[in-house]
Amino acid sequence: MIAIIQTAIALVVIYILFSIINSMLVEAIARWVKMRSKYLKNSLLELFEDIEQRKVASAVAFVPKLAMQAKADKTSFTEKILDTSWVEKWKIFNKGKIEKIEPVVFAEAMVEAMLSGNQSDKIDLKKLKDLINKQPIPAKIKEGFQSLLLQIDEEKENVIEKFKEFVETWYAHFAERLKASYKNHIRKYLFISGLLMAMAFNVDSIYLTQYFHENPQARESYVTLGKELAKDSIHIDTNALISFVLANKDSLSANQLIQNVLRNASTPIDSIIQFSEVSALPFNVFNWSKHRLMKADGKPFPSTVKLLGLFLTGLALSFGSPYWFDMLRKLVKLDA
């Protein structure tokens, strides 16, 4: 039973190390193509755009004059929000990027977009209701805001400031759902990248399981490393790792990649590097010359088993390092 748990720990350590590299790679590409910014904007467009209006827009798109008129008649509410001074200030604060918008900023921007030049101190409850009804947003959202307005005591509270509080809370809930949705969206890219990495470095989960189960010394090395990692999350110098990969792109091996990750990590694993040189760990397991899972009679399993092992690794890497760190801590407790 102990051998099984330790084999699982060793395998999870491999997943953690490669998940860190995989996540960094995907995140770097996502930033380059502005994936978060585009996902945020598309999500806001879906949130605020009325389905019926979208159908009408699609229908008139085949008639140029009608399409131009429809575009002139209806400006996206999302565009109005993103064009406000509040969002522009937020963009400057974030060095020109809008990967997320804080709820308080969104509330100010939305109210600015709704007022469209009207002075906020002259807006009473009735006028605010009229402004909400005039906005090009779905009826369901209008009804939700209108119901919130019933909670405002106009004689004791500032109508606009109270409405901003409602919008801030409402958007905060939306932002939480958006965060979870983006994780699911990015996971398919983590899987593709992870599968390519597994193929490039021969990270075969099935073979690794057999290797660690049959090699106690190798297993114990990774278990020792795993116990150090379980004490705290590993932090890597992203720029140093990217520079290393680019400098060695023509002859990069899994051994070199993992050694660089460990050597550029912050203190949970400094002590283990000092205690035992990284090169002493059995990284030769990733050598393509030892890539086949062997049967009891010494003959290799079919290539389909190899492909399944690589697929499982890609799938494992799609979960990300936080998931595997959590799993590692649970397994280390079982091995204690």
Please tell me whether residues 89 and 164 are part of one structural domain: yes
Lowest mean pLDDT among 145-149, 288-292, 330-334: 288-292
Please tell me whether residues 111 and 61 are part of one structural domain: yes
CA dihedral 83, 85, 86, 88 (to 10 degrees): 70
Please tell me whether residues 283 and 189 are part of one structural domain: yes
Domain, as residue range, for 94: 36-182
Please tell me whether residues 123 and 153 are part of one structural domain: yes
CA distance 143 to 243: 53
Arithmetic mean of pLDDT, 283-297:
54
Structural domain ending residue among the three candidates 127, 154, 182 = 182
Please tell me whether residues 205 and 227 are part of one structural domain: yes
Please tell me whether residues 6 and 45 are part of one structural domain: no
Please tell me whether residues 223 and 330 are part of one structural domain: yes
Please tell me whether residues 290 and 259 are part of one structural domain: yes
Contacts of 75 (CB under 8 A, 6+ apart): 136
Amino acid making up residue 31: R
Please tell me whether residues 111 and 209 are part of one structural domain: no
**Local confidence band at 311 (pLDDT 50, 70, 90 cut-offs):** very high
pLDDT per residue as tens digits for the range 256-268: 666 666 666 554 4
Amino acid making up residue 15: Y
Q: Is 135 left (phi over 0), alpha (psi -120 to 50) or beta?
A: beta
Total count of domains within the chain: 2
Helix (H, G, I), strand (E, B) or coil at 265: strand
DSSP 299: P
**Local confidence band at 142 (pLDDT 50, 70, 90 cut-offs):** confident
Amino acid making up residue 202: N
Structural domain ending residue among the three candidates 182, 207, 237 = 182
- Percentage of the chain beyond pLDDT 70 is 69
> Which of 284, 224, 277 shows the shortest CA–CA distance to 10?
224
**Local confidence band at 195 (pLDDT 50, 70, 90 cut-offs):** very high
Please tell me whether residues 173 and 263 are part of one structural domain: no
Please tell me whether residues 331 and 188 are part of one structural domain: yes
Task: Output the average pLDDT for the chain.
Answer: 77
Contacts of 202 (CB under 8 A, 6+ apart): 254, 286, 287, 288, 291, 310
Please tell me whether residues 156 and 243 are part of one structural domain: no
Residue 299, pLDDT score? 62
Helix (H, G, I), strand (E, B) or coil at 294: strand
Structural domain ending residue among the three candidates 159, 182, 205 = 182
